[in-house]
Amino acid sequence: MPSVLPEIRSRNIIVNIQLKKLIKKYCPGNPWGIYEKIHQKTGLPLATIRALCTNRAKSVSIDALQKIVGFFASEFHISPAKLLGPFFGVQPSGFWRMFTSITSKYFKVQICQGVRHDQTTAEPKWINADDAFLTATFSRQVLTCYEQRPSDLEQCLLRSWSNKEHQKQCFNESLWIYSRFRQDTGSRALVCIGSMKTLPLSECVVAKVFGVKPFVSVPWNKIQNLQQMPLPIFFRYRKNDPHPPSAFGGRKFPLWASNGEAGIAYEVDDANWDFCPSSETQDAAMVFYVYSQPAETVEIALGGFSGRATGCIALELPDLANKIWPPQYQRSDLMVGAFIIRYEFSPSVERNVESHSILVKPTKTEVIPLSKEVLERRLGGNVGELKCEAGKSKTRGKGHLSIDQIYDHLGDGIMKCKHPVENSPSPRPR
């Protein structure tokens, strides 16, 4: 007898049996009574019915499917054609499970991009094409990966680091947005597109978890060996890159494997680091996320070392979602996932003009999870958090931090400047 698998994995979805959902809809009350009734009417074993309700069955025969659909059709006078659709459900797999686990009716997703300011074009404010493509791809996945869509999908544009002259405003904007997200209530997700070179807000997400102050360069005079690095990831900038002060980025990095090249270094174990260079035939990207199930919050920073690598994330995002799950660091209240993605390209490959695409597809993709031991050693039992002491702020109402308090929590040592916090809108009530 042919069979239908209760779970069919394809790209970023799982197809499963929704018998339990049908029973709750048409037979509210004691489920055991309806199990027995289905058993008597169809002749199916009780064990089979329970396994289908809990999605533990390895398969379901067409004969059993016909009998169950026939039972609901005869008992509740429902057209069998209308039952087949609800009988099967679609759930996202891998990485997208963080979003489907949100149970609140109001769920806000905020996707942030960096805006560059320079005089190289007629329009001095512009967004990298690869960042924009990844934003669109990520938004589409969030909106289509499960039935309960976010109540609010918001896009936020923040200033990219350009030079020291505008450094104060650039960092303050990112600190302010991040603090507002941390202080807000309700189910929410913050998605940062691009590395800290493009979007300084990404640095807040990564640095906060390790209890490191963002936008403060690595104190190389105090680093005796790589075990003392503040974070297990480091972006070695190119000479012509923006060089924002960063807790895990800069030009200097004493690793023999880098050989002076630009790219992403990552810790392998207590004494060793490895390096993914960015060159004509190679590139690298980072995916970092923090998920708190009790608080129903998700923080994500994902982006390539270069625009080319960011575009590769967008091209492979549906399949990539299964490779960046599960997270390596897990507690009852917190999960942290950290992955480096290594790309390889054919030599002298130009952007595909014939297909009218500006994206370059890699010939090989390798997803490298940071080891569980590396994260556990650095995180231990304490993960840095931005806590709000209600009523302590002089410039904001109850439950909000002033800009000075934000620096106390995140940015000691960074230059302080005034920020128009008084006119900022209050968080949406839940």
Q: Which CATH architecture has domain 3-92?
A: Orthogonal Bundle (1.10)
- The answer on pLDDT for 6 being more than 50 is no
> What would the pLDDT profile of 280-317 be if each residue is shown by its tens digit?
999 999 999 999 988 999 999 999 999 999 999 999 99
Question: The whole model's pTM is what?
Answer: 0.75
**Rounded to an integer, what is the distance from CA 44 to the centroid of its chain?**
43
pLDDT at 122: 62
Confidence category of residue 14, pLDDT binned at 50, 70, 90: low
Two structure tokens written together for 333: 């209240």
Angle (nearest 5°) at CA 167 between 309 and 392: 110
Q: Return d(Cα 55, Cα 63) in angstroms, integer.
A: 18
Query: pLDDT higher for 103 or 50?
Result: 50
> What would the pLDDT profile of 142-176 be if each residue is shown by its tens digit?
887 766 678 899 999 999 998 887 888 899 999 99
- The answer on pLDDT for 191 being more than 90 is yes
- Helix 62-76 to helix 31-42 angle, to the nearest 10 degrees? 110
Question: Can you point out the beta strands (E) in 202-281?
Answer: 233-236, 249-250, 263-267, 273-277
- The answer on pLDDT for 365 being more than 80 is yes
> What would the pLDDT profile of 323-364 be if each residue is shown by its tens digit?
999 999 999 889 999 999 999 999 865 554 444 467 889 999
Question: What sign has the CA pseudo-torsion 344, 345, 348, 350?
Answer: negative
Helices (H) and strands (E) in the chain — how many of each?
12, 18
**Structural domain boundaries in the chain:** 3-92, 94-411
Confidence category of residue 374, pLDDT binned at 50, 70, 90: very high
Other CB atoms within 10 Å distance of the CB of residue 355: 8
